[in-house]
A and B are shown apart, each in its own frame.
Chain A
Amino acid sequence: MEHQPYRLAEEFDRFLGDPDDPGEVFSHARCVELDDKEEFPADICRRFQEWGLPEQYVPVEYGGRLRDYEQVLQLVRAVARRDLTCAIGHGKTYLGGVCVWVAGSAEQGARLGAEIMAGVPVSLGLTERAHGSDLLAGDVRTDDKAADTEGHWLVSGEKWLINNATRGSVLALLTRTRPDGGPRGFSVLLVDKRELDEDTYRHLPKIRTHGIRGADISGIAFDGARVPRGALVGAEGAGLEIVLKALQLTRTMCAALSLGAADHGLRLGLDFAEERELYGRRLIDLPQARQVLAGAAADVLLHEAVALVAARAVQTQTAELGVTSAVTKYLLPTGTDQVLADLTGLLGARAFLKGVYAGGRFQKVARDHRIVGLFDGNTLVNLNSLVNQFRSLARGFRRGTGDTAGADAACDLTAPLPPLDPARLTLVTRHGSGVMAGLAASVDEITRRAEQNPVIGPVAAAARRLLDVTTAVHAEMEEYQGVLTEVPPAAFEVARRYTLCWAGAACLGLWTHSTDHFGDDPGTGELWRDGRWLHTALDRLLVRLGEPAAAGEETYEELLGALRAARSSGRLFSLLPQRLPERQPVRTGAAAVESERTSC
């Protein structure tokens, strides 16, 4: 069955051309070169503009094409698969706009939407040098004592480590508008640098970075900049609330960056194993190499499943996005860093060298991806946010409450998505997680299917074990449910386990609700049939939860076969079909013939 978000991503990818062709604007060779020179990929971003990518960042109500977040996920993933600097440097404009989509007026939304679609870069100014993730300590402020505050805010202070602070023309700025206002002392101002007196602001130098070296990570300092009163987004004093809601959206969408990086890394690892030959044996024929590749492949599909459910849940269970986004923003970056670390073991020195294998792209993607776990709410911030919600999550699980209908719709890929209603975003998930509350029903469903089809038996057994562990994890959460200050390390560990259980519940939900629609595809159908991708996903999660393995070598061998078949037939290795614009690798020998045959 066709799935629209993948179709459009495929079309976009085709427009961008074959990345292996150095003559293309958005080629691998060009990205490596720009990274070496630490240059912003401006020419590549113009290609995105030509295709209309910025329209996908603007909600339809403001004149753009953003209707389903699942679509943005796949488009940004396609960019990230080639280069994270481009994905982050360009996708940042979405981040800059999102406060307005969440809380701005219709007029503000329409005006900003038009700017974004015209190619104006927009940025989001949150962090400051002295305060890191502590937004409430921000010093960028308005000065109410100045003479002409009637028509303007007078903004002073410095934002630092801001993506596109220099390139961006418009900046959504978290500003302290009331010195003693506590969490109500902040407002979001949509500052248009083009309207400011040039003497009242300056850019801070580009910061040199370990990864995404071409990105514009810099800062901006204001000194009495006159910002019109109309720049206020939402209510005065609502800034922190707006930003925390906006971050729920952006943290979920960060999954696209991790998915793309993993697609790229897995491709490089597979190609290397297929091509590398020592002493008459190819790397791909060695059991250790096969195990690493199959494990990475299992993780890639697991992450894709979680991201699919999470991106759909943005619209189907918006009120639980505080949990969904924290789980996703923790799990995908850390899980993808691990995939890249595992593949590093496979590539050996080639993972480290520049210019020896594949233009040094592997060391680049591994470096570039490191930022994803750091920005937009780091790993600990996300786990901490889950610990803060342990009380309601444990209570919800005990009672079986949460938005289960919304979770079901997120898991059924054929279900139409309702439009996003930003008013339903909330800082606290009140009644637990609908994804978790639906776990028991999914386990019943797969158990029922296993009675009809005994091949699924081991998958159903793994699902039952996941339910047991999930129940135990919620009991552990009850022990820490009073912990709201000075969170002990053990509570972070419980939160980590919670994210693994949530991921398992999402995978089971996705498989049980969607497998009947996707098992027939000639390419990706075999991943769905007999619960194959689900089997390895549950195995990976259970092992990380400290449980015995749930899938044997033969299951992983089948997955490896599917990975090789996808590569040799020009498909993305993914849960749903998508063709890639790359030319086919030319391979000799029996294995290549064999994998060609499997793809038919």
Chain B
Amino acid sequence: MPVPTTGHTTESLTTWLAERIALYLKRQPAEIDPDVPLAEYGLDSVAALSLCGDIEDDFDLVIEPTAAWDYPTVHALAGHLVEELAAEAAKDGGA
């Protein structure tokens, strides 16, 4: 079930992303520093593209697969997602 698209914060998305990336890397979420580039954990650039599928599935939000290249840390990506979710909510509200 998609999570409702409202009420997300940078904090909640940071937690979600850290959990998801920990799963990919077979680590504990606590080991993922939100300000360290994902590549430094061994998540290569092609593997990072897969994140967009999980984001779409859990948040019903379509983002560019290359978002993880443009926003290379958990923090940066969480910030981007908050903006995108807000834009999406505004669009839905206006429709």
* A interface residues with partner B (beta carbon < 8 Å): 136, 182-184, 240-241, 244, 385, 388-389, 391-392, 395, 426-428, 430, 482, 484-486
State whether A388 touches B49 (Cβ < 8 A). Answer: yes
Q: In the complex, given contacts A427-B65, A428-B49, A485-B47, what are 13 additional A-B residue pairs having Cβ atoms less than 8 angstroms apart?
A: A183-B45, A183-B69, A388-B47, A392-B53, A427-B66, A428-B52, A428-B53, A430-B62, A484-B43, A484-B50, A485-B25, A485-B43, A485-B44
Asked whether B53 lies within 8 Å of A430 as measured between CB atoms, the reply is yes
Q: Which of A183, A244, A391 contacts B53 (CB 8 A)?
A: A391
CA distance A51 to B37 in the complex (A): 53
- Whether B33 is near chain A, meaning CB under 8 Å from some CB there, is no
Give how many B residues have a beta carbon under 8 Å from the other chain's beta carbons.
26
A482 to B46, CA, bound (A): 14
Residues of B within 8 A of A (CB): 23-26, 37, 39, 42-50, 52-54, 56-57, 62, 65-66, 69-70, 72
Kindly list chain A residues whose C-beta atoms are within 8 Å of the C-beta of B69: 182-184, 240-241
Q: Which residue of chain A lies nearest to B54 when distances are taken between CB atoms in the complex? A: A391
Chain B residues with CB under 8 A of A484: 24-25, 43, 47, 50
- 3 cross-chain pairs, A with B, having the tightest CB-CB distances, nearest first: A484-B47, A183-B45, A428-B65
- Asked if residues B24 and A482 are in contact (CB atoms below 8 Å), the reply is yes
Q: How far is the CB of A481 from chain B (nearest CB, A)?
A: 9
State in angstroms the CA–CA spacing of A482 and B21 once bound together.
9
22 contacts between A and B (CB under 8 A): A136-B44, A182-B45, A182-B69, A183-B69, A240-B45, A241-B69, A385-B46, A388-B47, A395-B53, A426-B65, A427-B46, A427-B66, A428-B50, A428-B53, A430-B53, A430-B62, A482-B26, A484-B24, A484-B25, A485-B25, A485-B42, A485-B44
Q: If A392-B50, A484-B47, A485-B43 touch, does A182 touch B37 (CB 8 Å cutoff)? A: yes
Q: Are A182 and B46 in contact (CB under 8 A)?
A: no
- With a CB–CB cut-off of 8 A, which chain B residues contact A486? 42
Quick one: given A182-B72, A485-B25, are A241 and B66 in contact (CB under 8 Å)?
yes
Known: A136-B45, A428-B65. A184 touches B50 (CB 8 A): no
How long is the Cα–Cα vector from A484 to B53 in the complex, in angstroms?
13
The interface residues of chain B lying within 8 Å CB-to-CB of A428 are 49-50, 52-53, 65
With A388-B50, A482-B23, A484-B43 known as contacts, the answer to whether A430 contacts B56 (CB < 8 A) is yes
Q: Which of chain A's residues have a CB closer than 8 A to the CB of B43?
A: 484-485
With A184-B69, A241-B66, A388-B47 as known contacts, state yes or no: A485 contacts B53, CB within 8 Å: no
Who on chain A is nearest to B57 by CB?
A395
List of A residues within 8 angstroms of B23 by Cβ: 482
Contact B24 A485 (CB under 8 A): yes
Residues of A within 8 A of B46 (CB): 244, 385, 388, 427
